[in-house]
Amino acid sequence: MLFLNSCGLFQFYAPWCGYCKKLEPIWHEVGAELKSSGSPVRVGKMDATAYSGMASEFGVRGYPTIKLLKGDLAYNYKGPRTKDDIVEFANRVAGPAVRALPSKQMFEHMMKRHDVLFVYVGGDSPLKEKYNDAASELIVYTYFFSASEEALPESVSLPELPAVVVFKDGGYFTYDEYEDSSLSLWVNKERFQGYLQIDGFTLYELGETGGVCSFSIYNVFIPEFHFPLLKTLMQRVAKEYREHFNRDFQFGHMDGNDYINSLIMGEVTVPSVIILNTSNEQYFLPSEPIESMEQLVQFISSVLNGSAQAYGGDGIIQRIKRVAFDARSTIMSVFRSSPLLGCFLFGLPLGVISLMCYGICTAESDDGSDDIDAPKREGLTDEEEEEEEEERQRAAALEGPEEEDEDVGEKDPEEKKTD
C-alpha cells in the first residue's frame, strides 16, 4: 500500500455516509494545511466499500475512520473532526514519540503551549524504557518530552531521579511506581486537567481510560447566579482534595443538560451536580442542593464508600429501556426536524401493514361463510345429535302422509269412470 513505508494520514469512507460527506471539505483543508506547512505527512482517502479487503485489514468498522500510518504501525484518530485537531494529531504522531527539551527556554515555551505536559527526567534506566513504551502507545492523545534536571524550572524539586513528572493545574506531580502501578494507566489518567469542560467526546475519552476514571463529576448548568458557586466549589475540591479523590474522580462541567438527559434517560434539573460511573453507566444525585464545600465532599465520599443511592446501570432491564428510549428519541427527532418526512417514513409502513391485516381478516371471513353451520354441529354432544336425528325423522314422517293424500286425490280419469 502507498503509505506503509512512509507516513500518511488516511481516511476510510463510504460514498453514502453522511458524516463522510460532512468531513469532505475539512479533509481538503487538512491536506492543504499540512502541505503548506511543509509537514512530511501525506493525506489520502479510500472508498472502503470498493476496497473492503483493505479496509478489513486495517480494522475499519465504521465511517469515516481516520488512521495515521507510520511505518508498519497504524494509529487511530478518535478526536473531534475539526481541521485544527486533525492537523495537530498528524503532526504529533508523525514526529518522535518522545521529544527532547534541551534548555529552560524551550521548557518554558512548551509549558505555555500545553495544558498538560509529561516529562521524563534522568538518564537511561528501566523507567525510561517504560516511558518510551507508554509514549508510543499514548502519543495519539498527548505529547511526551524528556529533559535533563538542569532544564527544569528552579521551582521544581524532585526527590530522586530518574522520574516521570506531569505538569498541569499550576503544579507538578510525580509518578510513583509503587502506588500508581502501571505507568501507562497513570499517564492515561493524568492526561486530563483536574477540572475541565466536558462534552460528548471528552466523556467518550473518559470511558476509555480502562476504569482509571471510574467516576466523573459534572456540573450541569445554565447561565444563572448559582453556577459560579458550584463551579468554584468543584474547582476547590478538585485541587484541595486531589490526594483523596484524584484516583477515582474527574471533575468538570457540562453546558446544558440535553446530552446528560439522553445518557441517563431522565431529566436533570439545572444547575445540579451528578456523578457518573463511566464503567457501568450508574449515576448518583445528591439528596439536597449542594451549597457548600462540606456538602460536596460528603456527597463524593458517600459515592466512594458505597452509601449513596445508585441509579441506572448496564443490566438487562436498563438495556431494554435504552433500546426503547433510543427508538423513541429517534422518532421524535425525525418528527421535530421534518414532520412530513416522519409521516412518510412511519405512516407508510403502518398503512401497508394495516391493509395486509385487513386483507387477511377479510379472506378468512369469506372462506367461512359457505359452511357457517359447521361450527355449530361440531360443538354438539352425542345425545344432542340423536335428538336432532329423531326430530328430523318425525318431520319426514309427517311429510309422508300428506304426499300420499295428494296422490290419492289425483286419480286418473279412467278410475273415476269405473267408480
- Residue by residue, pLDDT tens for the chain (419 residues) are 444 446 889 999 999 988 899 999 999 999 999 999 988 899 999 999 998 888 888 888 889 999 999 888 889 998 889 999 999 999 999 999 999 999 999 999 999 999 999 999 999 999 999 999 999 999 999 999 999 999 998 889 998 999 999 999 989 999 998 888 889 989 988 999 988 888 777 777 877 765 434 445 555 544 444 567 788 888 899 999 998 888 888 888 887 767 777 777 777 777 788 888 877 778 888 888 888 899 999 999 999 898 988 888 777 887 787 777 777 767 776 667 677 766 766 677 777 888 888 788 876 555 544 444 444 455 556 666 667 777 777 766 665 554 444 444 444 555 444 44
Residue corresponding to grid cell 479523590: 245
Residue 88 shares a structural domain with residue 120: no
Q: Are residues 209 and 284 in the same domain?
A: yes
Question: What are the cell numbers at 368?
Answer: 367461512
Q: Quote the pLDDT of residue 227.
A: 64
Residues 42 and 144 grouped into a single domain: no
Q: Could you tell me if 72 and 1 lie in one domain?
A: yes
* Same-domain check for residues 113 and 63: no
Is 339 within the bounds of a domain?
Answer: no
**Can you give the pTM of this predicted structure?**
0.69
- Asked if residue 186 and residue 198 are part of one domain, the reply reads no
pLDDT of residue 72: 82
Q: How many domains does the chain have?
A: 3
Domain boundary among 148, 165, 191: 191
The last residue of a domain, from among 95, 116, 145: 95
Domain assignment present for 387: no
Assess whether 357 carries a catalytic annotation. Answer: no
Q: Is residue 359 in a domain? A: no
Same-domain status, 199 and 302: yes
Residues 232 and 261 in one domain: yes
Range of the domain at 11: 1-95
40 half-sphere exposure, CB direction, 13 A CA radius: 12
- Res 280: pLDDT: 79
**Contact 144/135 with Cβ under 8 angstroms?**
yes
For residue 337, the model assigns a pLDDT of 67
Task: Give the other-Cβ count within 10 Å of 326's Cβ.
Answer: 12
Claim to verify: residue 24 and residue 85 sit in the same structural domain: yes
Shared-domain flag, residues 158 and 130: yes
275 and 181 within one domain: no
pLDDT value of position 58: 85
Please identify, among 80, 95, 110, the residue that sits at the C-terminal boundary of a domain. 95
Q: Does any domain span residue 378?
A: no
Report if residue 418 sits inside a domain. Answer: no
Q: Among residues 17, 213, 357, 361, which one is catalytic?
A: 17
Q: Find the catalytic residue in 7, 20, 213, 361.
A: 20
Q: What is the CATH number of the domain that holds 135?
A: 3.40.30.10
67 and 103 co-located in one domain: no
- Give the C-alpha separation, 286 to 209, whole Å: 25
Domain presence at residue 38? yes
CA distance 305 to 117: 32
What's residue 4's pLDDT?
43
Q: Is 213 one of the catalytic residues? A: no
Residue 357, domain member (yes or no): no
